[in-house]
Amino acid sequence: MSTLPHIKRNNAIATLYVHDEPFIALAGEIRNSSASSLEYMEKNVWPNIKTLNMNSVIVPVYWELIEPEEDQFDFSLVEGLINQARENNMHLIFLWFGLWKNSESKYVPHWMKQDTKAYFRACKATGEAINTISPLCEAAVEKDANAFYHLMNFIKSIDSEENTVIVMQVENEIGLLGTDRDYSVKGNEAFSQEIPGTVAEEFQVSGTWEEAFGYDAAEYFMAYYFASAVEKITQAGQNAYPLPCYANAWLEQYPWRAGTYPSGGPVMKMQKMWNLMAPSLFCLAPDIYVPYVPEVLDQYSQNGNPLFVPEVRKDAVSATYALYAVGGCNAICYSPFGIEELLMNPENIDKPPLEIMVALNIDPSAFEIEGSAAYLAKSYSIIENIKPLYFKYRNSSHLQSFVKRNEHDFGKLLHFDNYDILVSYSPKAPNKPTSGGMIFEVSENEFVVIGTMIKVQFFSKPGKNTHVDLLRFEEGEFVNGQWNAGRVLNGDEKMMIQLKDMPSAIKIQVYEY
């Protein structure tokens, strides 16, 4: 009998284990409403992802559909999704669309939506209620925790042996939009009080929220209550079935004012508060639609936070960012959003209106899918097949990763034990991946180069009166961890070592003279 999916440290790095083996979730998140119909999933989702070399799918579970009547649960949809995933040889990461989805209370059951007295909304400073049930509403949090407990108990009853479901996301992009905090009667009352003792001790501050946190008091206040609510919900679910759980964030971004992005959500600025109040979560996860993806990957893989990417842009550059997320940031999961659309006709894709994307600071090119499917499938195939090499060398100087960060980034000089390697990046091209990848130093003079849109040059260490030349230059690929060599390119090809747009691997032996 295998243990449950769990997070543990491997070579000092937080790692997901499934069936007692280290696992990288090469995933895609489906669109928000796709999982509400098993027939729709059968017809429009599963066939469209067969060729993408995924091993996991990120799928919503909707509170309003599993508890249509108070305390009356229907898990037929959940059971159907698990069965379909098994038939398609996929693992599932479930998104719990409970009290909060994209800051609003969109998926709470009808009986809760209509009872605005018992389940009160957060308010703006004007007193106007917004479509977000307040995290200070204890009755609503209790109901969410109860529903999540029953959901996890059901998953345990049918999946504790097969482990189809490997991770749970608790809520979705929570926080308050349009206001920096909850100005409801209960919100104002709590905001004017002394900060809780646990917060005072952890942050070494005192007084009211405003006295303790100044300009950012409202966001810290909301982070405290949202994180506390998520902890209560998560604990309830894990008491039934202790799968790894995380919370995802709508990024803190321009214009940088709390409320223009969801105030109180699990952004890195609020990491300390979230870690304090929601210790049952193994990480805070970014949803990434901005142009500066590598910076976000770096940010969310620091300060003890394992990188888990449940949503990321799905244009061609995503294939490169997958390589960098794993090779450079030890990602547990990587997952473009709207994955079922990658093999559809681009003209049939529903995109957010341009004015909405501009208002939300979303890069419109994030939704361009031309070429994406083939590039992403190749990156996923490479990552899956290099796992033995990757787990052997990650977190060491023998594995170094790189990525083009902006149009003024021309390359990177990597320093290995005996040689320096200059990686030169290609100019940005429409519907192509960006430059990036990883290099393994597998012996003192042998290297595996994996990537896309790069040129590679080897140099002796400074001060040595020697030249470096290629002893052997092979194309090929990894299959189940083993290198399968193709052509030996010791002719004219060795004048320029390059990887083109399709992610690929080469093996190089060098010598000095």
- pLDDT tens-digit profile of 123-178? 999 999 999 999 999 999 999 999 999 999 999 999 999 999 999 999 999 999 99
Instruction: Report d(CA 311, CA 331) in Å as an integer.
Output: 13
| Alpha carbon of residue 503 to chain centroid | 21
Q: From residue 339, how far is each of 83, 111, 314, 373, 376 by CA, in Å? A: 20, 32, 8, 9, 10
CB contact set of 292 (below 8 Å; sequence gap of 6+): 405, 406
Confidence of residue 364 (pLDDT cuts 50, 70, 90): confident
Q: Per the domain annotation, does 128 fall within a domain?
A: no
What would the pLDDT profile of 283-335 be if each residue is shown by its tens digit? Answer: 999 999 999 999 999 999 999 999 999 999 999 999 999 999 999 999 999 99
Confidence of residue 221 (pLDDT cuts 50, 70, 90): very high
Q: Provide the pLDDT for residue 266.
A: 98
* 439, 323: one domain: no
Residue after which a domain boundary falls, among 334, 365, 385:
385
Residue after which a domain boundary falls, among 385, 407, 435:
385
Domain assignment of residue 94, given as a range:
6-102+148-176+216-385
* 255, 367: one domain: yes
Q: Residue 146 — φ and ψ, nearest 5°?
A: -65, -45
Q: Is the pLDDT of residue 356 over 90?
A: no
Cis peptide before 266 (omega within 30 of 0): no
* 371, 439: one domain: no
Helix, strand, coil share (%) of the chain residues, nearest 5: 35, 30, 35
Residue after which a domain boundary falls, among 357, 385, 413:
385
What would the pLDDT profile of 264-282 be if each residue is shown by its tens digit? Answer: 999 999 999 999 999 999 9
CATH code of residue 424: 2.60.220.20
* 260, 357: one domain: yes
* 285, 254: one domain: yes
CB contact set of 22 (below 8 Å; sequence gap of 6+): 10, 15, 16, 387, 391
Regarding beta strands 468-479 and 436-443, do their DSSP bridges make them parallel or antiparallel, or are they unpaired?
A: unpaired
Q: Provide the pLDDT for residue 1.
A: 52
What would the pLDDT profile of 467-488 be if each residue is shown by its tens digit? Answer: 999 999 999 999 999 999 999 8
Q: Tell me the average pLDDT across 378-394.
A: 97
C-beta separation of 274 from 266 below 8 A:
yes
Q: Provide the pLDDT for residue 2.
A: 64
Q: Tell me the average pLDDT across 23-52.
A: 97
DSSP character at residue 504: E
Q: What percent of the chain has pLDDT over 70?
A: 99
Q: Quick one: which of 160, 155, 136, 183 has its CA closest to 77? A: 155
Q: Which two tokens stand for residue 175?
A: 């926080």
What would the pLDDT profile of 45-89 be if each residue is shown by its tens digit? Answer: 999 999 999 999 999 999 999 999 999 999 999 999 999 999 999
Q: From residue 301, how far is each of 57, 269, 296, 402 by CA, in Å? A: 22, 14, 9, 15
Kindly report the pTM of this predicted structure: 0.96
Q: Is the pLDDT of residue 340 over 70?
A: yes
Q: Per the domain annotation, does 115 fall within a domain?
A: no
Q: Per the domain annotation, does 199 fall within a domain?
A: no
Q: Per the domain annotation, does 118 fall within a domain?
A: no
Q: From residue 266, how far is each of 169, 246, 288, 312, 442 by CA, in Å? A: 12, 10, 14, 16, 39
Q: From residue 80, how far is each of 37, 60, 155, 319, 346 by CA, in Å? A: 10, 13, 12, 31, 29
* 368, 403: one domain: no
What would the pLDDT profile of 415-441 be if each residue is shown by its tens digit? Answer: 999 999 999 999 999 999 999 999 999
Q: Is the pLDDT of residue 496 over 90?
A: no
CATH code of residue 70: 3.20.20.80
**Other residues' Cβ atoms within 10 Å of the Cβ of residue 32:** 18
Total domains in the fold of the chain: 2
